[in-house]
Amino acid sequence: MKIESILATKSLNVITVGPDQSLREAVDLLAEHNIGTLIVVDEAGQPIGIISERDIVREAARTEAVLGQTVSRVMTRDLITASPEDDLETVLQTMTAKHFRHLPIMDRERLIGVISIGDVVKAQLDKYQGEVDTLQTQIIEGQV
Amino acid sequence: MPPVGNEASPLRVAIVGSGPAAFYAADHLLKQNGLKVEIDMFERLPTPYGLVRAGVAPDHHKIKSVTKVFAKVASNPRFRFYGFVEFGKDIALSDLRGHYHQILYATGAPTDKRMGIPGEDLKGSYAATEFVGWYNGHPDYHDRQFDLSQERVAIVGVGNVAVDVARILCLTPEELAVTDIANHALEALSQSHVKEVYLLGRRGPAQAAFTNPEIKDLGNLADADTIVLPEEAQLDDVSRAALEASDDRATRKKVEILQGYALRKPTGKSRQLTIRFLVSPVELIGNAAGKVVGMRLVKNALEATAAGTPSPKATDRFEELSVGLVFRSVGYRGAALPGVPFNERWGVILNEKGRVVDPETKQPVVGEYCSGWIKRGPTGVIGTNKPDSIETVSCMLDDLARGSILHPSEPQASKMEELVREHQPKYLSFVDWLRLDEIEVKNGRAQGRPRDKFTRVEDMLAALGR
C-alpha cells in the first residue's frame, strides 16, 4: 500500500506558517484547525522545518515570554519528507525508528500534504482488519 | 426543519454502485439502533456486486461467498435495488438531490493506468482489466477478442490482478471447466496456444504487491511450471536491511515462497510461468502490421528514498523479450462522475474521510459522500472496504446529527420509483436479480459448474421477459 491511498482521503489543505511569524500566530493556527503540527515554509513555499505543539510547550517551560518568540527559534530543521509513491510499511518503520509523528509529503518540488503516524497506523490496521474480515467471511460463508 | 431519521421522516440515502463498498455502507447504516433509514442502491448493470462478480477470478469461488453477506443486507425491507439504472444517464445528480437526504458514491476504479511507453497501443497490447472483464462475463467486454494463438504473453505488474491473469492463462481447460468463467472465454481459452507467460515486476520480491495465498497458488498449477530466476529472487541490500529492521512476517513469507520457486527445476509441464523482478518495459516492439512482437526491458536497481522506500532506478542494461500479447496491470483509476468533484491526481472523488469536498472552498459538499476505491484509490482486499465504508457512514451520521443534510423536495420512496420507471422502464429490482441468479446457478449445476453467467444485457432482460 502506498502513501497516496492515505492522501486520497485528505482534502490536501496543508496548514503552513512562516519562520518569522510569532508563536502566538502558530498557536492560533493550531487551535483554529485543531491540529498538532505546522509545516514551516519559506517565501517560495518550500518546507524548511516543522513545528509541533510539543516544541511550543518545551519553549513555554523555559520562558513565560514564549508567545512572542519566532517560529524559527523552536522549529525542527532537519526535515524528512516522503512522496506519494512511498510504501506505507517503510514510512511507518522510518517514523517509528526516528521518533517523528508527522511527515510532509512532497510531489516533486511541491508540498501537497502532511500525514501523521496516526494516519499511517489506521491505514495499516484497516488493511489487516480487511484481510481478517475477508478470510473470516470465506470460512463462515464459504461452506458449500 | 423537523428531525430526519424517524418513523415519520426516514433518512433517505441513495448509494451509487453496488460493489463491496456500497453494500458494507448500506449494512452499517441499516444496523444503526434507533435510526429509521431507507436505502436505494443504483447500479449501472442489471446485476449487483461490482468486482466480486466481474473482478474476482472464476477459480476463486470461495472469495465470492461474501455475496451471501450482501444478499442478507439486500433482503432488508428498508433496502431497495435499482439495477440497470445509470447515474449521469438515466438519473442525474439533481434527481438524487431532489429525493434523498444523503448520496453516497461507491463506483470503484473502473479504468486502468497506462504504462506511458512507445508502442503501448499496438495490436495485441491490452489493459488487464479488459481481459478480466471478458473472462468474467462483464457485458461491456463481451465482444472483445484476444489473440490466444500467440505462444508468449507478458503481463506488466505483479499485483493480484496480474497474478489472476497469469493463472487464468495457465489453467487447463479441465480446471477452467469447473469454474463460473464466461462461456465465450472458456471456449477461447480451451483453444489457447499460450505456452510461456511472464509476470514482470519493476521492483524486487519483497516489494511485489501480490498477497501470499495468490503467489502460493501459482506453485500448484496442474500443467504449468512456475519459474523464478535465482539471481532475481535474492534480496538486494536495501530490501534486506528494510526486511530485517521490520517484523513483517507476511513479506518474509512471500520472499521465502519465491526463493523456493527459484530452486525448482522445470518438470516438463506444457506451460511455463516465469515471474521476473527488477525489470521495466521501456518500449513495445511492433511488426509491419502494427502488432506486438516483443518488448524492450530495462533492468532496475533499488535505491532507498528519503523515507526509506526501496525505489526502482533504471540501469544501463537492457534486454528484449519476444511476446505476442501484452497485458498491462500497473494500477487502476476511478472515473469522474458528472457533477461530482474529482481529484485527477489520485483518480478519486475529492474527499475528506469520505465527505465529498468542494475544490474551490475546500469545504465539504452537503449531503454527498464516497467510499471504497473511488474514495481511497484501488488498494486492499474486499474486506478493506468495510472499515473504509464505516468511516464514511460515521461522517454521514455525524452530519445528520448536526442537521447538515440535503432537504429534498420529494423524499417519498414512491416518487423516486416513479422517476426511475419513467427514465428506465426496464430497471431490475433485487427480486429480479435473484431470479437471474437462480437461472445462472441452475444452468451452471447442470454442467457441474457453480454458475453459468449471463454475459449480455439483452439476454438478462430476455430471461426476465422484458
Residues A83, B251: C-beta atoms closer than 8 Å: no
Residues A83, B307: C-beta atoms closer than 8 Å: yes
- pLDDT interval class at B362 (50, 70, 90): confident
Identify whether the C-beta of residue B134 lies closer than 8 Å to the C-beta of residue B171: no
Angle B421-B423-B426 from CA coordinates, rounded to 5°: 55
Per-residue pLDDT for B346 more than 90?
Answer: no
Rounded CA gap, B276 and B247, in Å?
A: 26
Which residue of B lies nearest to A137 if distances are taken between CA atoms? Answer: B66
- How many Å lie between the alpha carbon of B380 and the closest alpha carbon of chain A? 6
Which residue of A lies nearest to B250 if distances are taken between CA atoms? Answer: A128
DSSP string, B90-117: TB-HHHHHHH-SEEEE-----EEPP---
- pLDDT (mean) for B174-181: 96
Predicted confidence at residue B244, as pLDDT, reads 86
- How many Å lie between the alpha carbon of B22 and the closest alpha carbon of chain A? 15
Q: What's the burial of B147, exposed, middle or buried (CB within 10 Å: 0-12/13-18/19+)?
A: middle
Rounded CA gap, B439 and A35, in Å?
A: 56
Residues A4, B377: C-beta atoms closer than 8 Å: yes
Cell of B98: 431532489
Which residue of A lies nearest to B384 if distances are taken between CA atoms? Answer: A130
The CATH code belonging to domain A4-141 is: 3.10.580.10
Residues B381, A130: C-beta atoms closer than 8 Å: yes
Matching residue, cell 524548511: A48
Predicted confidence at residue B1, as pLDDT, reads 61
Task: For residue B379, give the nearest of A1, A132, A134 by CB distance.
Answer: A1
Predicted confidence at residue A62, as pLDDT, reads 92
C-alpha to C-alpha distances, A130 to B19, B86, B129, B182, B190, nearest whole angstrom: 15, 29, 23, 28, 35
Predicted confidence at residue A13, as pLDDT, reads 76
Calculate the average pLDDT of chain A: 91
Backbone angles phi, psi at B155, to 5 degrees: -115, 120
B371 vs A contacts (CB less than 8 Å): none
Residues B307, A81: C-beta atoms closer than 8 Å: yes
Cell of A83: 512522496
Predicted confidence at residue A108, as pLDDT, reads 84
Terminal-to-terminal C-alpha distance of chain B: 42
Which residue of B lies nearest to A105 if distances are taken between CA atoms? Answer: B307
Predicted confidence at residue A144, as pLDDT, reads 52
A89 vs B contacts (CB less than 8 Å): 246, 248, 251
- How many Å lie between the alpha carbon of B172 and the closest alpha carbon of chain A? 23
A–B interface: beta-carbon pairs under 8 A: 118
Task: For residue B348, give the nearest of A8, A85, A97 by CB distance.
Answer: A8
Which residue of A lies nearest to B72 if distances are taken between CA atoms? Answer: A141
Terminal-to-terminal C-alpha distance of chain A: 33
Predicted confidence at residue B282, as pLDDT, reads 98
Mutate to test the interface with B, among A11, A92, A106 (most CBs of B within 10 A): A11
> What sections of B402-429 are H helices per DSSP?
413-423
Closest CA to A127 of B312, B331, B250: B250
Per-residue pLDDT for A11 more than 70?
Answer: no
DSSP SS3 for B329: coil
Instruction: Give residue-wise pLDDT tens across range A60-79.
Output: 999 999 999 999 999 999 88
Per-residue pLDDT for B311 more than 90?
Answer: yes
Of A84-93, B112-121, B238-247, B307-316, give the lowest mean pLDDT range. Answer: B238-247
Rounded CA gap, B163 and B146, in Å?
A: 18
Name every residue in B having a CB less than 8 A away from some CB of A: 62-63, 65-66, 68-69, 207, 211, 242, 245-246, 248, 251, 305-311, 343, 345-346, 348, 350-354, 357, 362, 375-377, 379-388
Rounded CA gap, A23 and A28, in Å?
A: 8
Per-residue pLDDT for A143 more than 70?
Answer: no
Residues B351, A9: C-beta atoms closer than 8 Å: yes
Q: Does domain B11-110+334-463 have CATH number 2.40.50.100?
A: no
Residues A137, B383: C-beta atoms closer than 8 Å: yes
For residue B191, how far is the Cα from the chain centroid?
27
Instruction: Give residue-wise pLDDT tens across range B446-462.
Output: 999 999 999 999 999 99
Model confidence, pTM: 0.94
Highest mean pLDDT among A119-128, B1-10, B218-227: B218-227
Task: For residue B350, give the nearest of A2, A11, A135 by CB distance.
Answer: A11
> Residue B419: what residue type?
L
User: Where does CATH 3.40.50.720 sit in chain B?
Assistant: 11-110+334-463
A120 vs B contacts (CB less than 8 Å): none
Homologous superfamily in CATH for domain B111-330: FAD/NAD(P)-binding domain (3.50.50.60)
Task: For residue B307, give the nearest of A91, A126, A127 by CB distance.
Answer: A91
Angle B371-B373-B376 from CA coordinates, rounded to 5°: 75
Closest CA to A80 of B306, B311, B308: B306
Which residue of A lies nearest to B357 if distances are taken between CA atoms? Answer: A11
- pLDDT (mean) for A96-100: 88
Per-residue pLDDT for A100 more than 90?
Answer: no
Give B237's contacts (C-beta < 8 A, 6+ positions apart). Answer: none
Matching residue, cell 473482478: B55
Calculate the average pLDDT of chain B: 96
- pLDDT (mean) for B325-343: 94
Residues B385, A130: C-beta atoms closer than 8 Å: yes
- How many Å lie between the alpha carbon of B427 and the closest alpha carbon of chain A? 29
Rounded CA gap, B211 and B189, in Å?
A: 25
- pLDDT (mean) for A11-35: 92
Question: B439 or B3, which is more confident?
Answer: B439
Instruction: Give residue-wise pLDDT tens across range B43-74.
Output: 999 999 999 999 999 999 999 999 999 999 99
DSSP SS3 for A37: strand
Which residue of B lies nearest to A119 if distances are taken between CA atoms? Answer: B353
Predicted confidence at residue B419, as pLDDT, reads 98
Give B235's contacts (C-beta < 8 A, 6+ positions apart). Answer: B204, B205, B206, B243, B255
> What was the ipTM of the complex prediction?
0.87
- How many Å lie between the alpha carbon of A117 and the closest alpha carbon of chain B? 13
User: Where does CATH 3.50.50.60 sit in chain B?
Assistant: 111-330
Chain A segment 50-109 residues within 8 A of B by beta carbon are 80-83, 85-87, 89-91, 93-94, 97, 103, 107
Identify whether the C-beta of residue A22 lies closer than 8 Å to the C-beta of residue A69: yes
Across the strands, what pairs with A46? none
